[in-house]
Copies of this chain bind each other. A is one copy, B any other.
Amino acid sequence: MTAAAREPDTDDVFRALADPRRRQILRLVAREELAAGEIAAAFDVTRTAVSQHLTVLRSADLLTERRDGTRRLYRANPDRIAALRTALDELWASSLDLGRRLVEAERDAGEGSTR
C-alpha cells in the first residue's frame, strides 16, 4: 500500500526551491519589494518565464504579492523558509538528536523497529 503521507505544503516548497532561478528570485526579493518587470530584467529569459516562476513561488506561499497600479510588487515570505527548516527536521525526525544517532550506529545491534 502506498497511501504515502500527504504533504502538499512541504512538497510545493521543496519543488519551488529546486530550481536555481527561483532561488535567485527569492534572494532578490528577500530584503526589498521588487516589481515583476524589475525581477525579469535581472534574467535573460523572457518576462513570461519569470512570471511563471513567480506563480510557482507564490503557489508555494514563498512570496507575497502587492499591487500598486499596474505594477505588482513581490517580496519573500520568510515564514515559509522557517517552515521548511521544520520540515527538514521532520525529515530527520526519526533521529532528531544526531549525537544519539551516531552512538546508536556504533552499536546498531538491537533494533525493534517495525519497518
Contact = CB atoms under 8 A, between A and B. Distances in A.
Query: Interface majority SS on A: helix, strand, loop or mixed?
Result: helix
A68 B82 CA distance: 40
A68 B115 CA distance: 10
B78 A84 contact: no
A113 interface: yes
A70 interface: no
A108 interface: yes
B88 A85 contact: yes
A85 B44 CA distance: 29
Given A2-B44, A11-B20, A27-B94, 5 more contacts: A18-B18, A30-B94, A31-B113, A32-B113, A33-B108
